Structure 1
Amino acid sequence: MAQFLSDGISIAYDVHGEGRPILLIHGFGSTGKVNWVDTGWVKTLTDAGYQAITMDNRGHGDSRKLYDTKLYFAHQMARDALNLLDHLGLSEAAVMGYSMGARITAFLALNHPDRVSCAIMGGMGGNLMSGLEDSEEIISALTADSLDQVKSKIGRMFRIFADHNGADRAALAACMVTSREPMPAEDVSRITVPVLVAVGEEDEMAGPADALADLLPNGEAFTIPRRDHMRATGDPQFKRAALAFLEQHK
């Protein structure tokens, strides 16, 4: 992957195809490849005539690993996304994020609406406005000496995902402490760009899609049938809804 410096932190990225740019921001514990290439999103978007830009968030994938919890707030990671647009010479782009990536997308759209033509927030609903109660559970699972010591369902899910991706679990544990930065409802209502909120029907982590979409001046909700948080990522119906939304907001 190519690299650039964002506020002194090395961030890895890839550019796929040509056409209207769309920046893809992955979820916690994932990478640009795992979240967007392996699930078929990059092929779907490039086949539709888009230039898909993937990046590894700080602490993830090929980007620099950080162990200071104060460096993982979502608004800071949104600056990495903004700096990547600057690095690539893009005045604006469509932006799509999943889970933590959707939270990052929200801060980017709030603070720099002139750079975001439209946004897709997948795996993130009403919990954008609130913290989640399982952060300590996930941190404990990531820092445990072995998977055998992890007993909770949510902890095991994240530990297995991190190990499968060969992630730096210490960096992820630091990220989990602060990356779930809530956005107050009054700030959500200030996001004026068109936003598609897509949440799995069985997703217990994101919160309802309508709870977020109804606060957004130009928000619309899409429920991904029969999908939970992990299985919704590459869902074909999600892709079709996203492509239709992008076409609508050219």
Structure 2
Amino acid sequence: MTSVTALDEPLPAPRRRPPRPLELVGSFEFGGLDGHRLAYTEYGSGPDVVVLTHGIMFSRRMHAPLARKLAADGFRVVTLDLLGHGDSDRPADSWLYSMPAFAEQTVALLDHLGIERAVVGGTSLGANVALEVAVEAPERVQGLIVEMPVLDNAIVAGLLTFGPLLFAARFLPVTVRAVGALARRVPHGNQWVDVVTDTLDQRPAAMAALLHGVFFGRIAPPRSVRGEIRIPALVIGHQRDPIHPFGDADTLAADLPDAEFVQARSPVELRFDPARLTERITGFVRDRYER
């Protein structure tokens, strides 16, 4: 009798991890020959597109986990660094910074990538930008994801929070440079450490121009205009967040004719315990593309 050893038996096929959705970093010029460079990252591929923009002084990196989840679900996701943020150019002219201007940049991204329509979303500043895109180019918007919108109830808290930063950037620029230098020395590699260091790495003149342009311009479409936005929207509001009051999100959901409201458990739920909100966002995007 011939014996068969374990070496003669076929080895089991190695278990393969599912491939990570393709990620591509790109940039484009916005504003003609003398325009500014805007940076973006694409996750995944396909005809059904989601565009995400970030909070003030943050970067597109903050939406990387959500973008990867949506890409793994079969969507093409693009995260954009608005002017003055992240890897995009940071001019020092305050007139370049406003919510309508950021909306124009988002539409320009769609044009650059040849995207006819997309679900457009964002957090805080990005939430208001999404609303402005819906006003400026409703035919380009498949749906809205609005997390932490900033309306009238947030103005005082916003000025108290960002006013000292504007003062420091204008009159104590050495402090901004020092914080940025320290942030650049922190090793990269952790998602949220990288997000924080991106935020701290500011340039005084550009930071002052950004804060001045945003807080002394139009913060959000007025209520009469919001009532005409008939695009399906997912509005996410947070308790215990004075800069993004729950009342602003609740008011916005009531103002929009076709809005679904979701209450987050905390301002950081989508960042550190994202499963529930990510599922709601993914379901909303699926519904917009009738999957």
Pair 1:128–1:59, CA change in 2 (3 A): farther
Contact 1:12–1:56 (Cα < 8 Å) also in 2 = yes
1:146 maps to amino acid: T
What's the offset of the Cα at 1:189?
Answer: 1.0
2:117 maps to what in 1?
92
1:211 maps to what in 2?
251
Q: Matches of 1:83 and 1:164 in 2, distance apart?
A: 24
Pair 1:163–1:146, CA change in 2 (3 A): farther
1:69-218 correspondence to structure 2 within 5 Å: 69-124=94-149, 126-127=151-152, 132-134=158-160, 135-142=162-169, 144=172, 145-146=174-175, 161=196, 165-180=200-215, 181-182=218-219, 183-207=221-245, 208=247, 209-218=249-258
1:32 counterpart (25, 46, 60):
60
1:46 maps to what in 2?
71
What's the offset of the Cα at 1:206?
Answer: 1.5
Q: Taking structure 1 as the reference length, what is the TM-score of the superposition?
A: 0.85
CA deviation map 1:130-160 (0-9, x unaligned)? 674334233135554438xx9xxxxxxxxx9
Pair 1:130–1:165, CA change in 2 (3 A): closer
2:37 counterpart (10, 31, 34):
10
Pair 1:23–1:51, CA change in 2 (3 A): same
Pair 1:163–1:105, CA change in 2 (3 A): closer
Larger Rg: 2
2:281 counterpart (234, 242, 246):
242
Partner-residue secondary structure (3-state), 1:104: helix
Q: Matches of 1:9 and 1:162 in 2, distance apart?
A: 23
Q: Taking structure 2 as the reference length, what is the TM-score of the superposition?
A: 0.73
Partner-residue secondary structure (3-state), 2:142: strand
1:50 maps to amino acid: F
Q: Matches of 1:164 and 1:29 in 2, distance apart?
A: 5
Q: With a CA cutoff of 8 Å and minimum separation of 6, indicate the structure with the bigger relative contact order.
A: 1
Contact 2:154–2:244 (Cα < 8 Å) also in 1 = no
1:157 maps to what in 2?
none
Pair 1:14–1:167, CA change in 2 (3 A): same
Q: Matches of 1:212 and 1:51 in 2, distance apart?
A: 27
Pair 1:129–1:114, CA change in 2 (3 A): farther
What's the offset of the Cα at 1:15?
Answer: 1.1
Query: Share of identical aligned residues, percent?
Result: 26
Pair 1:63–1:197, CA change in 2 (3 A): same
- Which segments of 5 or more consecutive residues in structure 1 lack a partner in the other structure? 151-159
Pair 1:137–1:87, CA change in 2 (3 A): same
Q: Matches of 2:119 and 2:241 in 1, distance apart?
A: 25
